[in-house]
Structure 1
Amino acid sequence: MGSDDDWSVKNQAFYDSYENINENSYGFAQFHDSWVFEDKIVVAKKFENDLGKFAFQLSPSIRYTDFKHGDDFDYEYFHRVDLTKGYTAASDRLLATECPLSDEPGYTAADCGYNNYVSGHYTDYAMAGLADIDFAFGLGITVGARYDYVKAKSTYDITKMLPADVADLGGLYSASGSKGAWSWSASANYKLPFGLIPYATIARQSTVIAGQGAELYAGDIAGKTFISASKLYEGGIKGSFLDDRLYAALSVYKQKRTDYNIQSITVNQSVETKGLEAEARWSVNDHLLITGGYTRTKVYNLTALENGTLFSFFGIEDLVNVTDPTLYLGGQPIGLVLIPDKNASRRAGIPTNLYSLTATYAFDNGIALSASAVKVDSVYSGQSQVVKLPAYTKVDVSASYETGPWLFRVVVKNATNERYFRANFTELFGSTIVLPETPRSWQGSIVYKF
């Protein structure tokens, strides 16, 4: 609701639930059964005077999450079926999600169990405030703050877990606790002559670190490590020129997760990201649009750097001192990758430099032509940095014709038939598997709008 003096009060409610079961021939069986409900009130006030425009918000909220999650990652032989032989009786395995219930005759967790089987709930009580100030002389300031107080409980069902994983819990099968955390942000920009706007932002974001099924674990609740924080520093300049036909922006940033305790190699990672981004959009005339972009990104695994090692599955290139291939082919060696310096802690699979260029030309008769190119640096496929994927340039082209409610379009992807690869699951399997990407292909579509 609102009133004439620019006060407004709004209530927002949100509910979401999901049930998921994931079963693959190569393992990674898991399930989720979780739901969340949130209610938030937003009280807002805005006004304008000779000094500028001012807007303020205050927002209390409550969010409840209920979770149930189980997964099995002990039998994750990350290899596909041999396509030269096809599926055989040996291709299948009994997954944790296919196991009989624990009360059925003959069941033992050692025969078929989960690494994790956990359920619980947590409630987040929060209060947030925001101020957006746009001074008439060109300075804009946005500041905000939020405090979250989270109460949580989590319990393992050890009757459905493998004995070794139960032993790793050290008797901590259930825990409840609470923790509070602050988030805040501050941003400023200034409108200079000639359409230039420099800006700077600093922010801290506190987040509940939950798993894929929204689950929290008893050990993290007991240790009060289930909330983590990150900091962001960003600065740049942007502007519009040529009667707003040309837009350009340049920014540099640094983001860092400040807590290490809660890291998971598959879900949550303590990382530091440094980068630069540049983009330009030029509407040359009513027919031609050109866009270009450049990014430079470096991501470091902070926990690996602090520990000096990172767990990984090993490929052939890792085992340089093993001369007899029968000792490892058909198996899956594992171990620790040494991380002696910051360069070794860089996350694999993320190219340092990426360039993109797109052009679109639309004729008056409904025909439009488009082309785009992306140039990507070479990149290591895994954390041990023994397999390096080549650099590549990918080109896509398309043509379309629109008349009335009809649209006809043809797209040719990878028009030059570039041979290139993508890293896959770099932290664990980067040295054992990479994914070949699609060669030249095309697709056509006919669209009728009504």
Structure 2
Amino acid sequence: MLATSATALLLAGAASDRASAQTAVDAITVTARDAAGLLERQPSSTVFGLSKPLLETPRSASFVSAATLDRYGVRTIDDLVEVSPGAFTDSYYGVPGSLALRGTLAENYFRGFKRVENRGTYPTPLPAADRVEIVRGPPTPLYGPGKVGGLLNFSPRSARVEDKYLTRPTGELELTVGGYGLKRAAGQVGLPARLGNVEGGVYAYAEAEDADSFYRGVHPSHQLGQLSAEFDLGGGWSLAFGGMAYRARGYVQTPGWNRLTQALIDDGTYVTGQDTTLTDRDGNGRLTPNEIGPGGLISGYFGFTPSPDPRFILDTGVGTAKLSPRTVFISPRDFSDTDTQTAYADIGRTVGAGALKLQLFYDALDNQRFVSYGFPAAYNGHVTEVRASYTTPFSLGAIKGQGAVGASLRNYRGTAKESFNGGNLSLDRRDLTRGATATDIFDDPFSAEPGGIGLTWETDVRSHWRDAGVFAVTDLEWRGLSLTAGGRYDGYRVTSRDQGTVVFGPTPGRDYTDKTGDWTWSASLSWKAPGGLMPYVTYAEASALELNQAGGVAPSLVMSDSWLSDSLLAEAGVKARLLGDVLTGSLAVYRQARTQLSLNNSVQGTRGRGIELELRWLASRQLSFTFAGALQKTRIKGPDGSFVVIPPAAVGVSGPNGYGGAYALYALSGLVPGDYVNTQVPRSVMSLFAVYTGAARAWGQAGGTLGVTRVSHTQGVIPGAVRLPAYAVVSGSAFLQRGDWRFALNIDNLFDKRFFTPVADVYANVAALPGVGRTWRVALKRGF
């Protein structure tokens, strides 16, 4: 239905163009209409590594400018669903770190370089971006190897605007306050620089934010500083350098609601009660392993109802109560501290009609976290990359083209410490109506216990890998036909060891080393048809590393030779530039196959297919509309060896007789044999927004944005799983501009809609995160 409607709309637009003899709208008029920054102002190299407008690029991709982020009130990657099809992201424990595209986790890039993994570690700081590009599919060969599915490329704010340097100093100061104690300050300044033949500029941006949260007990804060500098040095030389430092505290991971039942989702009826069998004997405020007992609180399910365990039984306060969406799983001991540092430097030289460029990139992550149901972690990783490339236009008779060749070397080293193998954890043990107590807060390795009774780092993975690659890409055009093809070869060397205290599989402390090489390639064919339409087809095969949360490779994967995985994409679509470019859009149909890595390092194959539609219509100088919609279906290829926690009812035990511990499948295939549909990803997600920008008056200018996002239902994957209902959320914003002053108001979830987001990973069948209710914020900005 979505595909039929989209095709009809695009063809109708083309017919309208022909009927009106393709009446052209002057480019200046089109730009004047684009007050919300919906149109791409300059070609992008993000998709293929060659300069080409996204609307002429034969791949599904979206562009989001800083102006669009501001007008739509986009603050986190969760909000990108408003402007990009296929971008629904389930809850990675409430922290929006990485975008999900086409039903799988996407990768984060900074100016075309892949960053260290960020799976719910810290929020990606979108307000610091000049633009973001969302590519659905594998990265260009220039960027390095990566899985199909997608990526988000972050471009920092810069002194270069539409390929020109600033001509005068510019800047802005911003103060924001909002609901739940939000306080935010941001400032930016851009300075032109000219000395003799040297022309360029420097741009600095900083922000600090402190707040409470819709969720009681969560108090996030962060600070960010960013600097970029670009110079044309004369004689064909150019130089760019910069970086970003980010510090976050309090973005704790929470699964939301535990003791998940359909009654809890439907009307908020929560099962209460506590177990008193286990006690905090030493009075330190938490359960240490010696107080829990051998084997922890995980009971494996092997097809028959487990024997009763007194520690699992709720023996006091059993009943029901109504639970507020603001009450989630949290304790005073929960924390998450993150620091990142990113730096880059480019030096370029024009050589004839082409350009030679040498680029350096560095990214580092340090994170320590603890979630009191029993998951501590410490991640430390850093990556360096050197990339050299030569790009040039060329012609072969009537064929016009451009191409790029080059080489890259990427080195990673990091540590991932976690504790869960000992089974000292239970999500359902806490009664959320009572809050955290000493008998449902588990010990962690960050605190020292006398006599060695405390929890240790049960896994301690030290990983080092190197990727040396060569790449080439070309784009050929002839009479409206365009062929874009590229590929790369990567030679890998991986070393990994686990020196934890509870290691399954690999020998603790032993280095596992392997090396191999593999190819990645893609080819696309497009045709600039009459009427402003451009049909295209794309095929890609990719090879990429299986990385953990710190960006390393687990020794068990090296030992089993499963650390490198293949993926493929087949896509067909049509892009449109209609009505003199005031109506633009794209329609894509895809099939993909790729892998995903579970918490217990099980590599699972997935197959996905879907349809995506994106439309942006500048209806007049005052009014614009956008639509982003996707239909998708993702299947997990069985047998699925992932470790998952399941509710007591799934093993034949009532909630009150099982919530004190946890039941688990050591392989999901024990309950869900063969292939199955990933119902945790919604089948359909659609967003429709309108943007109004009033004419400039003597008193100033005003405008607003209003839209709705609808998400279809989701549910867990085991038989009888709880169903999270479909929902529609309305958001809006308004602004008033007077001279250099600007006042802005944003309201998210305008009608305070009650909804739920599925939780990723092992707790997907036993927890759900309540959606954030109505929130507001007002900002006062002063430009100069």
TM-score range, shorter chain: 0.7 to 0.9
Unpaired runs of at least 5, structure 1 = none
Distance across 1 between alignment mates of 2:582 and 2:600: 45
| Cα contact 1:172–1:219 (8 A) shared by 2 | no
* Closer, same or farther: CA 4–11 of 1 in aligned 2, 3 Å: closer
State the partner residue of 1:405: 740
Match of 2:688 in 1: 357
Contact 1:120 1:154 in 2 (8 A): yes
- Which residue in the other structure is 1:449 paired with? 783
Does the 8 A contact of 1:370 with 1:398 survive in 2? yes
Q: In structure 1, what residue type is equivalent to 2:780?
A: I
TM-superposition CA deviations, 1:182-225 (whole Å, max 9, x none): 10011111011111100111111111112111222333223332
| Partner Cα distance (1:250, 1:90) in 2 | 54
2:631 to 293, 296, 301: 296
Deviation at 1:396, TM superposition (A): 1.4
Give the whole-Å Cα distance in 1 for the aligned partners of 2:693 and 2:771. Answer: 30
1:113 Cα offset (Å): 2.4
Q: Deviations over 1:366-415 (max 9, x none)?
A: 11122101122122145445211111111112221111121112222222
Matched, 1:94 2:436: no
Instruction: Work out whether residues 123 and 152 of structure 1, in 8 Å CA contact, stay in contact via their aligned partners in 2.
Output: yes
Q: How far did residue 341 of structure 1 move?
A: 5.3
The answer as to whether partners of 2:373 and 2:427 remain within 8 angstroms in 1 is yes
Identify the residue that residue 216 of structure 1 maps to in structure 2: 553
Q: Which residue of 2 aligns with 1:374?
A: 709
Report whether the alignment pairs 1:419 with 2:754.
yes
**Mapped partners of 2:622, 2:601: distance in 1:** 46
Q: Contact 2:349–2:356 at 8 Å: present in 1 too? A: yes
Q: Superposed, which structure 2 residues align to 1:42-441 within 5 Å?
A: 42-48=389-395, 51-73=398-420, 74-79=423-428, 82-99=431-448, 106-107=451-452, 112-135=455-478, 137-157=479-499, 160-162=500-502, 165=503, 168-169=505-506, 173-257=510-594, 264=599, 269-302=604-637, 305-307=638-640, 311-319=643-651, 321-322=652-653, 324-335=654-665, 336=668, 338-340=671-673, 342=675, 345-364=676-695, 365=697, 366-425=701-760, 427-441=761-775
Q: Secondary structure at the match of 1:221?
A: helix
Which of 34, 37, 53 is the equivalent residue of 2:381?
34
- RCO greater where, 1 or 2, for CA within 8 Å and sep 6 or more? 2
The question of whether the paired residues in 2 share the 8 Å contact of 1:64 and 1:124 is answered with yes
Instruction: Supply the distance in 1 between the matched residues of 2:648 and 2:370 (Cα, whole angstroms).
Output: 28
SS in 1 for 2:662: coil
Change (3 A) 1:330 1:284: same
Match of 1:5 in 2: 352
- Asked if the contact 2:598/2:642 (under 8 Å) is kept, the reply is no
How far did 1:349 drift?
2.3
Deviation at 1:106, TM superposition (A): 4.5
Distance 2:385 2:392 in 1: 23
Alpha-carbon distance, 1:269 to partner: 4.4
TM-score (norm 2): 0.51
Deviation at 1:276, TM superposition (A): 0.5
- Report SS of the residue matched to 1:89: coil
For 1:86 and 1:264, the matched residues in 2 are separated by 27
Q: Deviations over 1:302-339 (max 9, x none)?
A: 2xx235x75422225535x44x5442132222234522
The worse-fitting range, judged by mean Cα deviation, of 2-11 and 389-398 is 2-11
Amino acid at match of 1:23: F
Q: For residue 455 of structure 2, give the secondary structure of its aligned residue in structure 1.
A: coil
**Does the C-alpha gap of structure 1 residues 64 and 134 become closer, same or farther in structure 2, counting only changes over 3 Å?**
same
Which runs of 5 or more structure 2 residues have no equivalent in the other structure? 1-347
For 1:313 and 1:120, the matched residues in 2 are separated by 28
Shift of 1:301: 1.6
Q: Hey, what's the Cα distance between the residues in 2 that align with 1:235 and 1:219?
A: 38
Per-residue deviation, residues 155-190 of structure 1 (Å, max 9, x unmatched)? 222xx412xx25x43578321120111100111110
CA distance 1:19–1:75, change in 2 (3 Å): same
Q: Determine if contact 1:383/1:430 at 8 Å carries over to the other structure.
A: no
Preserved contact between residue 400 and residue 408 of structure 1 (Cα < 8 Å): yes
CA RMSD, Structure 1 to Structure 2 (Å): 2.6
Q: Which residue number corresponds to residue 313 of structure 2? A: none
Q: In the TM superposition, what whole-angstrom CA distance separates every residue of 1:114-148 from its partner, at most 9, and x where no partner exists?
A: 3311213222111111111122x001111111111
Report sequence identity in percent. 25
Secondary structure of the structure 1 residue equivalent to 2:762: helix
Is the CA contact 1:141–1:189 (under 8 Å) kept in the aligned structure 2?
yes
Secondary structure of the structure 1 residue equivalent to 2:639: helix
Q: Does the aligned pair in 1 maintain the 2:622–2:694 contact within 8 Å?
A: yes
Deviations 1:78-135 (A, max 9, x none): 25854543444335432134357xxxx9547xx5323311213222111111111122
Amino acid at match of 1:349: Q
Q: 1:145 to 1:286 in 2, by over 3 A?
A: same
Q: Is the 8 A contact 2:429 2:661 kept in 1?
A: no
- Cα separation, 2, equivalents of 1:148 and 1:99: 44
Matched to 1:8, the amino acid is A
CA contact (8 A) 2:372 2:440 kept: yes
- Specify whether residues 99 and 269 from structure 1 end up closer, same or farther in structure 2 by C-alpha distance, changes over 3 A only: farther
Decide whether the 8 Å contact of 1:278 with 1:293 is kept in 2: yes
For the 8 Å contact 1:99–1:113, the answer to whether it is kept is no
Alignment check: 8 A CA contact 2:350 2:356 kept:
no
* TM-score, normalization by structure 1: 0.87
Q: Which of 365, 371, 389 is residue 18 of structure 1 equivalent to?
A: 365
Provide the secondary structure at the position in 1 that maps to 2:610. Answer: strand
Aligned-partner residue type, residue 493 of structure 2: K
Change (3 A) 1:232 1:276: same
Are residues 388 and 306 of structure 1, via their aligned partners in 2, closer, same or farther at CA, if it must alter by over 3 Å?
A: same
